[in-house]
Amino acid sequence: MDEAQVVVGYKTYLELIEPLLTGQDVVASGMKAEVKRCGLAIDRARAGARVALVSSGDAGIYGMAGLVLEICAARGLQVAPPGDERSVDFYFQVIPGVPALAAGAALLGAPLMHDFACISLSDLLTPWETIARRLELAAQGDFVIVLYNPKSKKRHWQLEAVRDLLLRIRSPQTPVGIVRRAMRAGEATVIASLQDLLDYPVDMQTVIFVGNSQTFAYGDYMITPRGYLAKYRVGEEMPMEAGRRSSDA
């Protein structure tokens, strides 16, 4: 952040990183101004400034990285990573972070030890039919399912539809982890079951983890087994040399 001359972002996120700012030119914009915000960051970069565009969690997962590149492609702007020797309009780099799915999973214990599908429930840019079809296929494949953007102030019916759709394929007792504001003020974590999914507060800053058929709750944790213990038949006693008997990973 110290290297940036201009910092652009959604105002809520800029407030979160305020302690990191060291006198940069800060450009805050409101929600739903994504295209404008990215265009502005691009314009400042083209004009020669070192610009940091701030996105939440990880800019590369449902974040602003793609929109910047999409706008570059639409405008025919040439971009390349810093250090590249070609002549470009500006240098561009995505700095990965801890995505909400990783922060939420950490708070829940270990829901993502096996294959998972990550699905946004926002139907602003994606038809609901596409979202519903993906949910159904993910459930059929016994993926752990991570739900981004489960609900907003104006969008409230989807989560019930998701529950009903998943209940046709998964057990009502399937563990469901609900994580609000992971690693931020107001953090709250609940492990519920699929049938009780609607009993807990959920908003745009919530990520929901629906277990696969093997996921179980243990104390305050949600665990999706990878299969080590079943394979090595580990129970009360630990086979200390189990690893050496295994074949290749």
Q: Scan residues 67-126 and list those touching a copy of itself (CB under 8 A).
A: 67-75, 78-81, 93-99, 102-103, 105-107, 109-120, 122, 124-126
Beta bridge partners of 228: none
Check binding of 224 to a copy of itself (CB under 8 A).
Answer: yes
Within 173-212, which residues bind a copy of itself (CB under 8 A)?
204
Residue 247 structure tokens:
């074949």
Tell me how long the chain is: 249
Sheet-wide strand order for 109-110: 109-110, 221-223, 216-218
- Which residue in 180, 18, 191, 175 sits closest to 103, CA to CA? 180
Check binding of 138 to a copy of itself (CB under 8 A).
Answer: yes
Q: Which of 39, 46, 193, 195 binds a copy of itself (CB under 8 A)?
A: 39
State the number of binding residues for a copy of itself (CB under 8 A): 103
Q: 197 or 223, CB closer to a copy of itself?
A: 223
The distance of closest approach from Cβ of residue 197 to a copy of itself in the complex, given in angstroms and rounded to an integer, is 19
Check binding of 62 to a copy of itself (CB under 8 A).
Answer: yes
The distance of closest approach from Cβ of residue 198 to a copy of itself in the complex, given in angstroms and rounded to an integer, is 20
Distance CA 243, CA 33 (A): 52
* Interface region with a copy of itself, contact rule CB under 8 A, candidates 45-53, 168-176, 195-203, 216-224: 216-224
Q: 23 or 83, CB closer to a copy of itself?
A: 83
Check binding of 61 to a copy of itself (CB under 8 A).
Answer: yes
